[in-house]
Each structure stands twice: as structure tokens, then as C-alpha cells.
Amino acid sequence: MKKMKTNYLKKIALLFLVAIVSVGVQAKEGMWIPILLEKYNIEEMQQMGFKLTAEDVYSVNQACMKDAVVIFGGGCTGELISDQGLLITNYHCGYRAIQSHSSVDHDYLTDGFWAMNNQEELPNEDLKVTFLKSMKDVTAEVFSGVSEDMTETEKSKMIENNIDSIKAEAVKGTHYKAELKPFFHGNQYFLFINEIYTDVRLVGAPPSAIGKFGGDTDNWMWPRHTGDFSLFRIYADKDNKPAEYSTENVPYKPLKHFPVSLKGVKENDFTMVFGYPGSTEQYVPSYHIKMITEKVNPELIDLRGRKLDIINEYKSDPAVRIQYAAKDASISNSWKRWIGEIRGLKRLNAIEKKESYEAEFQQWANSHDKYKNILSDYKKLYEEFGEYKLLYNYNVEILYRNGTEIAKASTLLNSLIKEVNKDNVNESAVQKLKDQTIKEYEKFFKDYHAPLDKEMTEMLLVMYKDRMPAEFLPDVYNLIERKYKGDVSKYVDAVFKKSIFSNKEEVLELVQQFSKKQMGIVEKDPAYQLYKSIYTLYRDKIYSQYYDLQNKLKAVNKLYMSAQMEFQKDRVFYPDANFTLRVSYGKVKSFEPRDGVIYENYTTLEGIIEKDNPDIYDYRVPEKLKELYQNKDYGRYAVNGTVPVCFTATNHTTGGNSGSPVVNGNGELIGVNFDRAWEGVMSDMVFSPEQSRNISLDIRYVLFLIDKFAGAGYLLDEMDIVE
């Protein structure tokens, strides 16, 4: 047995060596592991214009760039730009925080917000930033005790136990948090030690007419003129350690912050993006791309488009526009990306190229018993998985992703219901949950508009019935047929008239009085019954089947990944993004999106003025910005009589890289990454050197807005600005 375990680990180590040892000249593609730069990337980076060392990027022995980069919230990146904890990220990353402080009386979305001193900075409940302290390859420890003669269940259990032990031991006796993530589909594992700060305050944000200029129309598009940034400050206790919000806390003193460059960029300048890319699928088979482009995403595009149409109907009401601003952005973001992704994959003939590659792979695999059935296994699994992925997404879109809000609102009582139904009721625990639930309902109703939700609910129920097979329709449709003669509109009218969850005062009163006696009120409520009907169908007929198929695919993915590494020993492999810290490097580049069209690598303030249109909400330029333009009041941020706004480069990025620092060869901040060009959004599955471009906000435009537009020049005094 011991020999078998050793051989198993040797194979894992060999596969990883093959994956990373042959970094080629075209390494502009890829999201690279920072602790491996010295061995596999730094030489090429320096040839391209990077003047620092791998230790300057990642080190546990000295202050380095990793100490100035954070996970912002739960899905973005941010970076430190002063020695007083000042942090910059994207406007769209700080959007929920900005919205939470906004009201009709204090409309920070429309007017912007700028704290003119520390006392005016706004605290944000539930907002946190995460610093990486160290990372380590723990593959051998994770696979300790695992052998090839074990069943998959036995292997999984052993690996799970090992992971729990490694994490517990790694942070024992510290305030740090441990995270352990798989790479190369589970063929390798890394341990991450993190430090989390929870007192993060809003310092500044431009009006949405700057921070979201171009809105959904320009999202994912180039040329771009969006001032997509917001400023926050991290606070710590007197010992610089993490602490909950307190007026006694002081600005955090970082180990490292980025110097800010006024030097600008030009074609072919070196660029490095350092952040937390969320998820990519570089090594999936052709069956996966077929499923995405032909079955699942076209349906989701249609569904999300209808959601957006409904929200757009209500945007003329300023209060509703504020309430649904973040929801609108969330729905739209993926909707537009999916459209571009399908377009890009088709343009690149991605399916045909994958099939050609798979034909060659199969010829090789035929002489390897372990791998010869991989593609046939994929074919069988995807035939079934495609159906369940669509079913899964429809249910999630209805219940959880800005779907029927009134039904979801009924679930906010779940924890309280569970507590009052215990044999020995703890009154103190009940009261605590009541207080928490009241807060949740206050937050819910702050951003809720019943007429919009009513229209949304009706649309979703009609669409669900039209698109789903009869055996996957929840029993609420029997009620609609029996009691309302199939009229969904009449049913939805009844739900909103009779449900307690459409009335804030009634809901809060219910929570305050809640005990077992109130269970009947909830169980008879039509909104609760709607949720329960859809959720029960989802739980009983979709959830377990979907995840069972997904787990089977994960096992094949792991095997296929190791097979590809053996099949193409000289190919450059980099791990898919998994929201861990990565380096992506490239150059400032223009591009040709289609025949006869050439896009420059930069945009300027001139383009903002050209797009100005008071009749279109997304293109309304603030008067103050127009005055600065007319007076040519650009200060030291002027270049050739204008102000640079955005630029494009060849860095390989994805969701999660939003807010990432973009640095030059000297490690100075030249921009803040915020998007990709629409022509290249398929780079999550297929990267195109000709079309894939990341879009960054030029840091000179940021400084211009802080100084000249906002009049908050005191913030620049904190920064190390390199002329």
C-alpha cells in the first residue's frame, strides 16, 4: 500500500511540473500563481519591461505588492494607495455600499459623495477586505493516505479530512483565517492564510453619471469613458489589528501601498494586473461550449432581458431607480456578457477547434486505458447535465437572482421559525433573532417596489410554464388552473393583495409578536406558499440530480485535466481562475474588432463630451465636468490638451479582477482594471491574443476627478505621486 501511495503522489507532482515548466513566449495569456513567478514567469516579464523582481510581487520575508492588494467585499479586488489605509476599487464594486447610504434626500448615486475629513467617512455594515498573508502548495498533505485502489468516495473522504486538519493547524492560536483551494480541477491544492478587516468606510465616489457613465449601453464595450472608481478607508484598532467598527478605531497602516504614476501609458508599454480573478473554464470539452452557447445561455439571455425590460419601465421614478440600481446592474452585467461570449465563441469557431483537438486527443488516449473513455463519458453526461443545468438556472433565477421578491421575502423568517419550533424554546435566542429579522426586513423594504415585483412575478411564472417540461412544473400551477382557470395574472393579483409580505408594517408587527401561534399565518400566506411550491419542486426533482451530475463531471474534469497534461507535455498550462491571487501580464495594445475598424488603446475627456446627451440617462454629463472641459481646467493631469480616461491592454482578466491594480514596469499604479472588451469576453473559455483586451481606468483621470471635480485634493496629499 505504501508504494502505491508514493506512486500516486509522484504522478500528481509530475503532472504539475508538466503544467508549468514550459512557459512560452506567448505567456500574455494566463493567470499565474504569484509564488511561482521566480521559476516560471519573471524572466519573460522583465523582457517585456518589468523592472522589479518576483520578491517585489510576492514575498513572506519583506513588504511586497501582495500586501497592498485585497479582496474587496466578496467578489472584487481593491488596492491600497496611501499609508493611511486609503483604498481604491471600482465604482461598481462599491455600488451597494454607496446605494445603501443613498436616499431621495441624500442621493449619493446622483450627486456623488466625498468625505472632506475622516469624521465624515461612512461606515458599511457587512463590508470587509481580505489580505493574503501567505500561500503554500499543500498537495502532498492533501493527498496523504490516498491511494489508487480506493473508491472515489473513500478518496473524497480522506481528502476532506486532510483539508480540515491542514486548515485548523495552519491558523491555530492566531486571528487569521485559512482557506484551501483546488487547482487544475483537483490535481493540486494550495493553502491560503488570510487576515480580514471589517471596519471599511466610504471615503469618496463620483456621481453615477461619471462612475457608471455609459451605463448598460457601454458595459463590456470599447471605446469606454467610465470613471469606474470609488474610495474607501480601512480602519484597525490601536495595534493595527482587525476590529469591528468603533469610533476608537484608527486608519490602518499597511505594510505596502502603491505609488501612483502620472507618467501615463503608450502602445506596447508593459502592464501587470494583480488581483483575484473569479472563474474560468479554459480546459472544458466541446460538449460544454455547445451546452453554453446552444442550450442554456440563450434561454438565460431571454429571461434576463425580460427582467431588465420590467425594471426599465419604472426607472423614471427617482426613488425606484435608486431602489433597483444595484439589482439592475447585477442582472445586466451577466446578460450582456453572455451575449458577447456566445458571439465571440462562434466567431473563433471554438466548438470546431475543440472537436479537432479532441480528435487528436482521442487517438492518443486510445492507447491509454485510463483515459480512452473520457470523451465518451463527457458526451453521455452532458446530454443529461444540459437539461438539469437549464432547470437549475430557471429555478434559481425565479427564487434567488432578483426574481419574485415577495416569495423570497417570506424566507427571511426561516431562522425564527426554526427557533420557536424547538422543544425547549430559548427566549433570549428568539428575541435576538427577532431583532435580526427586523433588520433584514428593513433592509428588504428599503429597496423594494411592489408594483415592479408584481409585474416581475407574473412574467416569470408565465415564462416558467411555457418553457419547462410538465413534469418539472411546481404544484402552484395546479392551483392556478383550478382556482384561477389558468390565468396567471389573476393569481398574482391575489398573492399581492392577500400576502402579508407586501406590507412592511404588517410584516414587522408579525416578527415582533412571532411565536408558534403565528405559524398558521405564515403557512397560509400566498407568497410563502408560492415560494414553498417552487422550492419543493426544486429540492425534490432538480437539486440533488443537478449536483450529482455536476460531481460526476468534476471527476471526469480532473481526469481529463491530468490526461491533457500528459498528452501535450510541451503545452503551456496555467490553472483556471478560482478567486485566488493571480498575476496577469501583457502590454498596452490597440486592436481591430472587425474588418475596417481599428480601436486606439486610449480614450479621453473629449469622448465624454461627444457622448453627452441630456435626453439619455446613461449619457448625461455633470455640469461641473462640462465646466472643467470648457475652461480646460485640467491642471497637471493634462496630456496633449485633454485628460486621458481609459486604456486597453492584453492582460488576461475575468470577473473578480474588477478593481485590480494595473501597474507599469516600475510597479507604480497606472490604472484600475474594470472590464473587458465585448469582442473578447469569451476569454474565460478561449483566449484570443487579437481580440481579448482588458479595459482599465487611467489613474490620471481618477486624480483629476478627485482634485478638480470633487475638490478633495487633500486625499492626494496622502498618496506617493510619481511625476
Catalytic residues: 92, 228, 658
What are the φ/ψ torsions at residue 90 (nearest 5 degrees)? -75, 155
Rounded-to-integer distance, Cα 357 and Cα 372, Å:
15
d(CA 702, CA 223): 18
Q: What angle do CA 16, 21, 26 make, to 5 degrees?
A: 120
DSSP three-state, residue 298: helix
H/E run at residue 382: helix 374-399
Distance (Å, rounded) from C-alpha 373 to C-alpha 354?
Answer: 17
- Phi first, then psi: what are they for 70, rounded to 5°? -130, 155
- All 3 cell numbers of residue 588? 498596452
Compute the distance between CA of residue 440 and CA of residue 448 in angstroms, rounded to an integer.
12
Which residues neighbour 568 within 8 Å (Cβ) at sequence distance 6 or greater? none
Q: Is 656 left (phi over 0), alpha (psi -120 to 50) or beta?
A: left
Locate 432 and state its grid cell.
Answer: 435576538
Sign of the C-alpha dihedral computed for residues 120, 122, 123 and 127 taken in this order: negative
Give the single-character DSSP code of 32.
Answer: B
Cis upstream peptide for 259 (omega within 30°): no
Q: Specify whether the backbone of 211 is left (phi greater than 0), alpha (psi in -120 to 50) or beta.
A: alpha
Q: Which amino acid is at 568?
A: Q
Burial class (CB in 10 A: 0-12, 13-18, 19+), 652: buried
